[in-house]
Amino acid sequence: MKIKVNDKVKIAVGKDKGKSGKVVQILPTSNQLVVEGINIMYKHIRPRKSGEKGQRVQFNGPISASNVLLLCPKCSQPVKIGIKAKAGIEGKKTAKSRICKKCKEAID
Ligand SMILES: [Zn+2]
């Protein structure tokens, strides 16, 4: 997945379309992520004992990673991410860095 924790993303699809937020969790196995303030869901907790009140807990539900665009920290636009191999020193593995497809700046 090209998106990482603490990235700012813009939601491109769904009920939160147009909103943006910070990525707080990545779920690579399901290709989903959790974004602060996006896809707010409620969990109802039933009272365990009589006399106790049930609770409603708010949390951010996961959304599909394909429904978000990265907000580029350099040009502040929702962009697609490109991958560019960094020029590696001979004999060493080349690291990959993410680049903004719009302004061509490295994101990492
Ligand atoms: Zn950019």
**pLDDT score of 84:** 87
**pLDDT score of 80:** 93
Q: Is 37 left (phi over 0), alpha (psi -120 to 50) or beta?
A: left
Distance CA 33, CA 17 (A): 15
**pLDDT score of 51:** 85
**pLDDT score of 34:** 98
The CA 97 to ligand 1 mean position distance, Å, reads: 14
The CA 36 to ligand 1 mean position distance, Å, reads: 22
**pLDDT score of 25:** 97
**pLDDT score of 91:** 64
Q: pTM higher than 0.75 for the full model? A: yes
The CA 104 to ligand 1 mean position distance, Å, reads: 6
**pLDDT score of 52:** 86
Per-block mean pLDDT, blocks of 10 residues, the chain (108 long): 94 95 97 96 90 91 96 95 79 81 92
The CA 51 to ligand 1 mean position distance, Å, reads: 55
Q: Residue 51 corresponds to which tokens in the numbers above?
A: 């006399």
The CA 70 to ligand 1 mean position distance, Å, reads: 9
**pLDDT score of 108:** 79
The CA 59 to ligand 1 mean position distance, Å, reads: 30
Going 82 to 96 to 68 to 70, the CA torsion angle's sign is negative
The CA 30 to ligand 1 mean position distance, Å, reads: 27
Distance CA 108, CA 52 (A): 49
Distance CA 73, CA 63 (A): 22
In CATH terms, the fold of domain 1-71 is SH3 type barrels. (2.30.30)
